[in-house]
């Protein structure tokens, strides 16, 4: 009902499958804003707007790929940063909610499904981990620390997926161990994008601009 089997062994979502994912995405996003949003109506509306904007920017920049890996994964235009910003702005709960919604959106836009466990690992768990940036929302250098933690979380699930579900391709790249293959393969694109992002957000004018955006997003500039 929700997916059909392709000749290569992967599954393609049906209209009902896409509809279900869209409904879940909207429900989770709205529920997250309701639960983790600020008390005042104006602040909740601001949080919803900035979170939606961050997800949209992450989605658009994820389509701008500088390096595209042969078995999936790519170096994008700082797409992971935009999701991590939500956690830095509003805390762990809001960050995880936005990241979960982003994972579902990635599944809707560019699905590659071999099984439910693989789908959950690659799309739900991996992208939701970016919301761990919210752990450091109130810390000094919170964005830098949160970004590193969020990306590390995504990398962990990407490595698990690569070793478990795509380990058979290890020998094609000269690796005898699926784990080592997955560590190297996923580290190549996730690590490169993370390194470039860390350099950019460490530039003083950029860091100050992001702090100003956070003040606007949280209403600190008007309170």
For 39-87, the pLDDT digits (tens) are: 555 567 888 899 999 999 999 999 999 999 988 899 999 999 999 999 9
Instruction: Tell me: pLDDT of 118 over 90.
Output: yes
**8-37: b or e for each residue (b if 16 or more CB lie within 10 Å)?**
eeebebeeebeeebeeebeebbeebbeebb
Instruction: Tell me: pLDDT of 37 over 80.
Output: no
Please indicate whether residue 13 or residue 35 has the higher confidence score (pLDDT).
13
What percentage of the chain reaches a pLDDT higher than 90? 72
Q: What is the mean pLDDT of residues 3-31?
A: 85
* pTM given for the model: 0.90
pLDDT confidence bin for 151, thresholds 50/70/90: very high
pLDDT given at position 72 = 87
Average pLDDT of the residues of the chain = 91
Virtual CA dihedral for 149, 173, 161, 27, nearest 10 degrees? 80
Q: What is the mean pLDDT of residues 116-132?
A: 96
Instruction: Tell me: pLDDT of 116 over 80.
Output: yes
Q: What is the mean pLDDT of residues 88-105?
A: 94
- List the Cα angle 129/172/10 in 5-degree steps: 55
């Amino acid at each position: 009902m929700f997916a059909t089997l392709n000749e290569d062994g992967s599954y393609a979502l049906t209209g009902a499958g896409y509809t279900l994912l869209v409904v879940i995405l909207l429900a989770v996003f709205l529920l997250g804003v309701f639960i983790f949003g600020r008390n005042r109506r104006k602040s909740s509306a601001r949080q919803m707007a900035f979170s939606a904007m961050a997800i949209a920017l992450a989605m658009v920049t994820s389509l701008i790929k500088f390096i595209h890996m042969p078995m999936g994964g790519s170096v994008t235009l700082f797409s992971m940063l935009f999701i991590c910003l939500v956690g830095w702005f509003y805390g762990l709960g809001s960050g995880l909610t936005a990241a979960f919604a982003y994972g579902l959106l990635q599944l809707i836009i560019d699905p590659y499904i071999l099984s439910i466990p693989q789908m959950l690992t690659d799309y739900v768990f991996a992208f939701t981990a970016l919301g761990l940036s919210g752990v450091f929302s109130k810390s000094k250098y919170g964005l830098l620390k949160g970004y590193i933690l969020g990306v590390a979380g995504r990398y962990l699930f990407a490595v698990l997926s690569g070793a478990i579900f795509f380990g058979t391709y290890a020998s094609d790249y000269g690796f005898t161990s699926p784990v080592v293959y997955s560590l190297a393969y996923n580290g190549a694109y996730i690590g490169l994008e993370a390194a470039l992002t860390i350099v950019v957000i460490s530039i003083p004018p950029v860091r100050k601009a992001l702090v100003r955006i956070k003040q606007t997003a949280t209403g600190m500039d008007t309170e």
